[in-house]
Every structure is written in C-alpha cells, then in structure tokens.
Chains A and B, each alone.
Chain A
Amino acid sequence: MNNFSLILMLLVLMAVAYQFGMVRSRSLAGGNNSAIMHSRPHHYGMMVGLWAVLPPLFIMLLWNWFSPGVIQSMVLASIPAEHLPDGEQAAIIMRRISNLAANFGIVAEAAEWELNAANYLQALRQQSALMLTALMFIVASVGLLLSFRKIQPSLRARHQVEKVMMGLLLLCSTVAILTTIGIVLSMVGETLKFFTFIKPSDFFFGTTWNPRFSTAGVADGSLTGSQGSFGLLPLLSGTMLVAFIAMLVAIPLGLMVAIYMAEYAPSKVRNTVKPVIEVLAGIPTIVYGFFALVTVGPFLTDLGAMLGLTIRATSALTAGVVMGIMLIPFISSLSDDILTQVPKALRDGSLGLGATKSETIRKVVLPAALPGIVGAVLLAVSRAIGETMIVVLAAGNSPSLTANPFEAVSTVTVTIVNQLTGDNDFASPQSLVAFALGLTLFVITLLLNVVALVIVRKYREQYE
C-alpha cells in the first residue's frame, strides 16, 4: 500500500476513534451528568483520535526514512560476489536494478543476476510495505484501546489535546527558521565547493567575468587552465548601476507622491488615486520585463537618437527606468505611512509660526520622518538588487565593468539564472558559482534589510 492511501486510512481511523472517545465520555457522564467530567466530550474524542494516529504516523516516517537504505543493502548483499560492484558503480547498478523492478526500460540487455536482484528487490519492497501496514495497524489499535480505556471523569483530556496542538503550532512556526537555515546551509555548502575550484580572492576581487563552458575535464579540477574567470566585480557594478538608476526614478516620484497624498490630497482623491498607483505593485515582474523589452527600450533608443546619443535597447538605463517604475508604489506607500505617523502638533507648531505648508513639510515633517524614509529607501534598494526578471529581459546580459548607463550590463541575479539553467553539470564550478553569487546577494540584501529595520524601529520609538 502506498503512503498516500495509508495516510487516508489513518484519517478515517482518526474520525472513528474520535467518535469512540466522544461516545464513551458521554456514557461515562451519564444522562444527567451524574459523573462530572474534567473535559468536554470532544476533548476525549480528540485525545483518542490522536493516540490512534500519531504513533503509527511516526512509525511511518521512520520506516520511509530507513527502509530504502536497508532494502538496498540487502539487495547488494544478494548479488553474487563476482558482479559485486564497488564505490560509485554500486549506485549505477542499483539504478538499473530498480528500473528493472519497476518495469521501466533499461539500456542493454539485463543479465540473469540482474533480473534475480530485481525480483528480489520487488519482493522486498512488497514485504516492506506489508510489514509497515501491519505494524501501523497494530500500533494504531493498541493506542486506540489504551487511550479508550483510560477515559475517566478525572482524566485531563483537554490538557493532553492542547499540548499536542501547541506542539503542532510550534512546529509550524519553526518552518520559517528552518527555511533560513536551509538557505544558509545549502548555499554555504555549495559555495565552499565552488571555492575548491576558484580562490575566494579571485571571485570577490576579479574584474573579468568569463566562466566558459563546463567540460568533463574541468569537473575534477585537473584542467584548471580551461576554467575561465569568475570575477564578481563586473556583475556587482552592473547591479549597482541598475539599482542606482532605479532609485533616481523611484525616489523623487515615490516621495513626491507620498507627500502629496499625505499632506495635500483631499480624502476623495486619496481614496481613488492610491489604489490605482498600488496596482503597479501587484504587477508581476515578468510583465515589467516584457514592457521594458518591447516598449521602453526601443523608446529610449529613439529618444537617444534624437539627442544624438547611442542608447542600446537593452541597457542598464532601460532596466533601471522600468525597475524604478516598479518601485514607485513601494516607496510611496511606505513613506506615506511614515509621514502620516508624524504627530500633528509638529505641523501645527510650524504653521502657527507663519510657515507655508511646503516649508512645514520640507523643514519640519520631512526631517522628522527622515529615518523612516531612509529605511523605506533601503528596503527599496534591496528589492532592486534582488530583482531578477526585469534585468534578465532588459539589461542586455553583457558582464562588463562599465559606468555608462547606455551600455548593456549584467547583474548578479541574471548570472545566477544563466549559470543554473544551462546544460551544465551540477558539480562544475560553472554551476556552483550560482550559489556563491546567491550567497553574496543574500548577505547584501540581509544587511540592507537589517539596517533598514533597525532605523525604522528606532524612529518609531520616538513618538510613542
């Protein structure tokens, strides 16, 4: 029986056990509640249900974790000694055998001993599934019976149920931490592997990016001559250039929108215009990328031609401008919140002294809101650095160390996509570098976020 139907059966069992527990507690309580029960009937039901389901579920997890290894070693032990493979060969042979057992096609004719092993594997698997089902059934019924017999007026069923529930809730809230640990561990692991091919100093301070193609000889590190160069700096400069242009677009527009919305706009205008601008925030980035590629890029090229400039259709400028448009609502809504948090007394004081509204905003409100706005801008910068699809489509993918916004550039994110989606071998430096780049990106954005959060939090304390 496969895992899915086992789980389904467990769920059915849980429902049945729940009914058992509930009926039993009701009958114990008697018609006129002659025995005062500690908990409500559904608590007893739930308790029996949990006792019937959790232990077998646990056994199933363990079994699925360990049984493939056990079965594999048993099959390997059954193979005659003269065919007995060593090291990496074992994995290949095992794959052939398990393909045979699953009736998939394999390359070349199957040998007699392979067929025997495949049959043995199939039999073992069937036995294992049967044993698991039987074991789960036994454990489940023992759990059900024991907990069923334990039901008494004094049994604190609610406490047991709530404890399990609490454990479940706790487990869910650790997923977020596990994700972070997973991100860090997986990327650090692969990055360390990458640094066995390339010196860290060559990566962090190299000025050329030319990874070449992966070849069979490179993977074992013996042909280092043909390995190409993995310099981070051109990618980082491209990333910064695009992010800088994006900020040049997004900060003035986003900030002025926020100021107008928070200080000037009548509530009617505010209520209609704000959602319209926030539509920009909900559009997927691939759509912005397409917009940049087919509309903004050619437009900028034509504009450049009119002004006597050569602007490439896919350039840092194209990607930056469109990314800036994407970030307008991000900056405007964050700054809007911050501006409205500035106490009214400050404005009234300034207006009372005879300042005009714009003077009040520029000399009083903005300085008071500055830390929050800086935080918002930092968050926007980290968005811009981590943004992928716009630059994949519109930045031109040419890793060169340039500060000319009219040229094509490449960024860290684009390179991650390029290196990991080709036909490269997963263990070659050409693929592994994606993880080193990802880790760099993760660290940069993490720092920006932490700084931004600290600034925002500090600011918030001022007026509370």
Chain B
Amino acid sequence: MTTEVKNLKGNAATRSKVQQQVVNSLQKRHRQEKLFRGAGVAAVSISILLVVLLFVNIFSKGLPAFWQHAIKLDIYFDPAVVKIAEKPVQQAGESDNEFRQRDLEWRSAVGMINFNRLIVDGLQKVIPDANEHRRDLQRIVTSGERFAIRDLVIKDPSIIGSTQSLFLLTDANIDVWLKGNIDRSLGDAQQQLSPKVREWVESLKAQGVIQNRFSFALFMNPDSRSSLASAGLAGAFMGSLYMMLVVIVLAIPMGVAAAIYLEEFAPKNKLTDLVEVNINNLAAVPSIVFGLLGASIFIGWFNLPMSAPVVGGLVLTLMTLPTVIIATRSTLKAIPPSIRQAALGLGASKSQAVFHHVLPLAIPGILTGSIIGVAQALGESAPLLLIGMKSFVASIPSSAMEQSTALPVQIYLWQGNELRNFFEARTSAAIIVLLALMLSLNSLAIWLRKRYEVRW
C-alpha cells in the first residue's frame, strides 16, 4: 500500500479527483488509527496504574502498622503485691474435675491481683516526675498489657520476686502521636494526649526506652475494644481458618462429584439442561443473597448458632460449589475422548474408565479450580455480615461452633473504629495479611497449573 501512495504522490499532475480524495482521506484515516491504538494503550496503562495505585496506597498505609511502639520497663514482681498461693498441682487420688476446679479458683485469684500497680511502679523508674502526674501515668501503657503480665505469672509463678525487663505496648494514642499520624500543631483541647504525656513519650523515645518494634500483638491477639493497641487478628484468622476447613471438606468433594456426574454419566435430557443452567445462574447470584439464605435456613430453621464459623462455612460452601463444579467440568471436558475409549475398549466399566483413567488426569485442573474457589470464599464478607459474624468477639474461637469473626469482616469492623488515626493503618495491615493469604493461594493455583498442565 505504501508504494502505491508514493506513486500517487509522484505523479501529482495525473491524479484524478478520486485519487485526490483517497490521498486526502488517508492521512485522516491513519490519524484515526493512531488515536485508536493510543486509546488502547491509554486504557491498559490506566488499568495498570490503578492496580499500582491500589497496592501502593494500601501498603504505604499498612506496612508501618506492623511495627508498634512499645516501652521497655523493668517490672519488679513485688511479692507484696502479687500475693498468691502456690500453683495447684494435680495430686494422687484427685479427680480431673476436682483439680480443674482448684486450678480455676487459683486462676481467678491471680486475676484479682492489681497488676497495674506493677506497671505503674515500673514506669516510675523511668519517668522522674511521675509522682505529680499519676493520672497521666495510667495512660502510657495500653490496658491489655496487665493481662499479658498476669499470663506470665500464671505460666511461671517462680518469677514472683524477680525483676523482668519487658517490652509493653504503649497506648494507641501514643503510637499515633509518635508515628506522626496526627497533626501535631493542633491545640491541647483537640489532642488525645495531655501535654505532660506527650513530653514524656518524646523524651522516652529519644532515650530509646520507647521503641518501634515489630508487633506480634497484631498476629497473636484477638480483637479488643478496651485496649485498642493490642487488638489483633488471631480470632478472625482462626474463624476464617475454620470456615475454609468447612469449605474444603464440603465444597470440593461435593462439587467434584457433581461435576463428574454431570459431565460423564448424566443422560443428556431436559433435566440435565436445567441443572446446568441452574449452576451457571447460581454462580452469578449476588453473594448477599446467600447470606439471606443462611440467615433464614441455617439459623432460622436448623437453629444453628449465630456468628459461628460452621454456619459461615456452610454459606460459603454453597457459594463456592458452582465455581468448583464449573472448573471441574471444563477440566473434564478438555480430556480427550480417546482416553475413555481406550479404557472402555480394554473392558473397563464406565465408572472404572472415569475413576481410574480420566479423573487422575483431571486432578491438576480440579485442584487449580478448587483453590481459586477457596481463595474467593476467603475474601467474601457480605454474606457473613447477615449471619451475625460482625459481632465483636474478644476471644480466639477454639471450635467451629463458637462465636467468631472472619478476616474480611474484621477489616470491616476495624475501618469503622472511632480512633481513625490508629485504625486506618491497622485496617490496612489487616488487608495486607488478607491479600497475602489470597495471593499466595492464587499463586499456588497458578504454579500447580503450570507444573502439571497437560496439553493434548
């Protein structure tokens, strides 16, 4: 075409009117071509930019929250304050129940001790003018740490009388102040911290008594409302784990079985068509509708407990089922009929052909589809809100029947916390944890596909 254009240009004198028109329009058409292509490039770059923006945004907010300010205190476990009997040991002839009763009594006795006093004593050692401002002193260490100290005593009562050097988490407001997440030029009336506390923590930070350390609390602790600085993801993580177990145990075998039946055995009739249309539709039903189903059937009819991971797991199972079925079916479809024919030709029954020859070849594809389905279920939150999993739970669930939240719901709960300056970062950190889990699941799926994929 280009040589033609040159020719046309070359013999300008002999150009006809039509040729003239073509030459004129050609420039315009090429410009349009460039514009169109440019629009494509722009759309791709905008999309990539959005991905990058989203991740940079979340990570820049969330990464600092993995480190939290803690104060290094020498805590003297004063026997005058920590007055407890010896830790009970099971004696010969004592039944388990009696021992448990005694142990429980001992634990509640330990719980009555004023551990706060130990913390205040420790603070007085590092803050010289502490005695004049006792009220301010109470606000430095977050209130949850007294329970951490209590747990130390319960674990090993022999530390009573000794002095331990411990890192205790500071109050959430102190963390916000030291990280500069609040406008420092605001007046005293608008600041959460009194001027005295601010002065103290600044100098302690400069002395290295307060340090910004990796926050294990974020991973080890359950959620907390009274002690915001020690609120963690452990409860939500266990809740999500139980739900995923339910999903894996129920959705994958059921989905694979259904797909095998529909793809390999089902007679082709109206009913099978109906099931197929139904499954495709189910895959596109909004997730919140599954939440309504769970609320009315599992909780309303079957009287399963509210907020329990088992109910959440069942709801997510129903949601994941179509994904698993569709993925398994397409994998089975891709396996060449020659495999089945060879097996049948050697005298295998139909089910032997399927289970001994077709299914083993389909396993990588089935695994990939199932893992993607589980990852989807892990990130789902809307249906869980409707079955009560958004209630505040301050303990780590020890079974699938206990109250719990889930990781995405914990994100929802934290983003609504009033202490915005602190929880914006903490929520982003929780998002990073969730995304890391989901991305690792997805990359596992991709790796499996790459590793075991067979091209026919």
**Selected interface stretch from B186-194, B229-237, B377-385:** B377-385
Q: Does B13 contact A (CB under 8 A)?
A: no
The verdict on A389 contacting B412 (CB below 8 Å), with A282-B442, A413-B382 known, is yes
Pairwise interchain contact A172-B44, C-beta atoms closer than 8 A: no
Q: Mark B261-287, 1 if CB is under 8 A from A, else 0.
A: 110011000000011011111101111
Pairwise interchain contact B296-A179, C-beta atoms closer than 8 A: no
Q: Does A317 contact B (CB under 8 A)?
A: no
Pairwise interchain contact A264-B375, C-beta atoms closer than 8 A: no
Q: Does A204 contact B (CB under 8 A)?
A: no
Q: How far is the CB of B52 from chain A (nearest CB, A)?
A: 9
With A and B bound together, what is the CA distance between A282 and B292 in angstroms? 24
Chain B residues near A277 (CB-CB < 8 A)? 44, 47-48, 51
Pairwise interchain contact B58-A256, C-beta atoms closer than 8 A: no
Chain A residues near B379 (CB-CB < 8 A)? 282-287
Chain B residues near A252 (CB-CB < 8 A)? 43
A183-201 contacts to B (CB < 8 Å): 183, 186-187, 189-190
Q: Out of A166, A257, A362, A387, which one reaches B286, CB within 8 Å?
A: A387
The verdict on A420 contacting B386 (CB below 8 Å), with A180-B282, A264-B40 known, is yes
Q: Does B90 contact A (CB under 8 A)?
A: no
Pairwise interchain contact B292-A186, C-beta atoms closer than 8 A: yes
Q: Does A16 contact B (CB under 8 A)?
A: no
Chain B residues near A254 (CB-CB < 8 A)? 43
Q: Mark A279-317, 1 if CB is under 8 A from B, else 0.
A: 110111111011101110000000000000000000000
Pairwise interchain contact A169-B36, C-beta atoms closer than 8 A: no
Pairwise interchain contact B266-A450, C-beta atoms closer than 8 A: no
Q: Which secondary structure characterizes the binding site on chain B? A: helix
Q: Does A318 contact B (CB under 8 A)?
A: no
Q: Does B260 contact A (CB under 8 A)?
A: yes
Pairwise interchain contact B48-A162, C-beta atoms closer than 8 A: no
Q: Does A75 contact B (CB under 8 A)?
A: no
Pairwise interchain contact A253-B33, C-beta atoms closer than 8 A: no
Inter-chain residue pair count (beta carbon < 8 A): 250
Q: Does B163 contact A (CB under 8 A)?
A: no
Pairwise interchain contact A435-B1, C-beta atoms closer than 8 A: no
With A and B bound together, what is the CA distance between A172 and B265 in angstroms? 13
Pairwise interchain contact B438-A279, C-beta atoms closer than 8 A: no
- On chain A, the number of residues with a Cβ less than 8 Å from chain B's Cβ atoms is 87
With A and B bound together, what is the CA distance between A183 and B286 in angstroms? 12
Q: Which residue on A lies nearest to B30, using beta carbons? A: A356
Q: Does A8 contact B (CB under 8 A)?
A: no
The verdict on A287 contacting B435 (CB below 8 Å), with A177-B275, A277-B47 known, is yes
Q: Mark A418-438, 1 if CB is under 8 A from B, else 0.
A: 001100001000000011001
Q: Does B249 contact A (CB under 8 A)?
A: no
Q: Does A61 contact B (CB under 8 A)?
A: no
Q: Does B257 contact A (CB under 8 A)?
A: yes
Q: Which residue on A lies nearest to B29, using beta carbons? A: A356
Q: Does A10 contact B (CB under 8 A)?
A: no
Pairwise interchain contact B438-A173, C-beta atoms closer than 8 A: no
Q: How far is the CB of A370 from chain B (nearest CB, A)?
A: 17
Q: How far is the CB of B431 from chain A (nearest CB, A)?
A: 5
Q: Does A379 contact B (CB under 8 A)?
A: yes
Chain B residues near A257 (CB-CB < 8 A)? 40, 43-44, 47
Chain B residues near A420 (CB-CB < 8 A)? 291-292, 295, 385-386
Q: Out of A280, A287, A379, A438, which one reaches B58, CB within 8 Å?
A: A287
Q: Which residue on B lies nearest to A393, using beta carbons? A: B415
Q: Does A325 contact B (CB under 8 A)?
A: yes
The verdict on A445 contacting B424 (CB below 8 Å), with A169-B265, A285-B381, A389-B382 known, is no
Chain A residues near B408 (CB-CB < 8 A)? 284, 286, 389
> Besides the contacts A173-B259, A325-B50, A442-B289, what 8 more A-B pairs have beta carbons closer than 8 Å?
A166-B261, A189-B296, A280-B47, A282-B442, A359-B32, A417-B386, A442-B285, A449-B281
Q: Can you give 13 contacting A-B residue pairs, CB < 8 Å?
A: A162-B349, A166-B351, A172-B257, A174-B275, A179-B282, A186-B292, A287-B411, A289-B412, A290-B428, A357-B33, A382-B284, A421-B386, A426-B300
Which residues from chain A sit less than 8 Å from chain B, CB to CB? 158, 162, 165-166, 168-170, 172-177, 179-180, 182-183, 186-187, 189-190, 252-257, 259-261, 263-265, 273, 276-277, 279-280, 282-287, 289-291, 293-295, 325, 328-329, 332, 354, 356-359, 361-362, 379, 382-383, 385-389, 392-393, 413, 416-417, 420-421, 426, 434-435, 438, 441-442, 445-446, 449-450, 453
